[in-house]
Amino acid sequence: MPQNKSHHYVPQMYMRLFARAGDNRIGVFAIEREKFIPNAPIRGQACRDYFYGKDGLAERAFGRIEGPAARIFARAIAERQLPTTGSQEHEWLIFYLGMQHSRTLGAAEQHNEISEKAAKSVLRTKAELEGNQEVIDALARVKIRRSNAVSELVQYATIGASLLADLEFVLIDNSCTTPFIASDTPVVLHNRLYEDQDISVTGYANVGLQLFLPLGPKLALFGFDRAAYQVETNARGTIQLFDDAQVALINDLQWEAAQAALFSSASTSEREFLASALKWAKLRKRERTFFREEIVAQSESEVRTRHGSGAAPSTIKLDLSFVRCILTRPRTLRAWEVPPFRDADRVARVDRAFARLDMLNELREQ
């Protein structure tokens, strides 16, 4: 009988941060059902059978990453300390954040969605040029999925996570009555500097990037571009939060990112979840990505197009009292522009690594 067929895309060790000491149950809010389960077993949450394949290799690899991350989180909770920048523990933290961001069901669905939009755009353009209305009509009924969406994302995150290494990380200490919640997509990226743009602004290397990861009801990890923001901390180097409205705003990031479920302590009020569910029923995105295509040149034998794609912009105005933008608010970017990079040379090195990875994958397929 196959072992370990239930693969967690949010680790059990992470979900335990929201459980009582020694307990393996947490509060779970099922978004579509609008139902709060106050004592749900952790082992049954954020998992799918053979989500990473049947050979067990990915599960074992993730286990090796989760061990150091669990120790980092335990120390953060007990001592309110994070690894020193440049240390081996800091590297493990960065690696974990990249892996967790890429390995979820939500990330896979987003990857599938953008791939489907891109493929359909190419087919639609070709059919329109050929006057093939039958193909155009059929596209609405076609569903296109990548066969290895999660594997592709994790491969790229193995390299791309290094682009998060220059972010500064601090802890947010929650002294409010409102607890932090998490979701089945717990690592959330935002960009306060580039809010109100109609393009993707949360690439790992973009100027103004922010990263949030709740570490239980009373603590959260906050990463930010230190050249874009000034963050107010106390004598211990942490952010002390006393405003419930600010906690609710950070929780909104989890509501926006969640695929199907939200996680909390078992003592969280169902009434709080239902009130937020009412608000987010209209705000949650039906499409998580955008894709644009424009014909830039056309002849009898050739059509040249350009594409723009990425994660749909956030609807949240993340006006946090402890964060101040120190860069001038940028102009509205045009449809085909992207926010600047924090370090263009580092991005170029990573791009070359991606190119080598693509070449190896092509050789494997031959």
- Nearest CA-CA partner of 23 in 38, 7, 41: 41
pTM, two decimals, is 0.94
Q: pLDDT at position 1, please?
A: 40
Per-residue pLDDT, 147: 84
Q: Where are the domains of the chain?
A: 6-365
First to last CA, the chain: 33
- Residue whose structure tokens are 């000034």: 230
Contact 18, 26 (CB under 8 A): yes
What does pLDDT average to in each consecutive run of 10 residues of the chain (366 residues)? 79 96 94 94 94 84 93 97 96 97 94 93 87 92 89 90 97 96 98 94 97 98 98 96 97 96 92 91 86 83 82 94 96 89 95 87 73
In angstroms, how far is CA 27 from the centroid of its own chain?
A: 21
Question: Which residues pair with residue 224 across a beta bridge?
Answer: 168, 210
Helices 88-102/57-79 angle, 10° precision: 120
270's enclosing H/E stretch is helix 270-283
Per-residue confidence (pLDDT) for residue 366, from 0 to 100: 67
Return the residue matching tokens 């067990």.
56
Between strands 188-190 and 6-8, the pairing is unpaired
Q: Say what the alpha-carbon torsion angle 65, 212, 153, 74 is, to the nearest 10 degrees.
A: 10
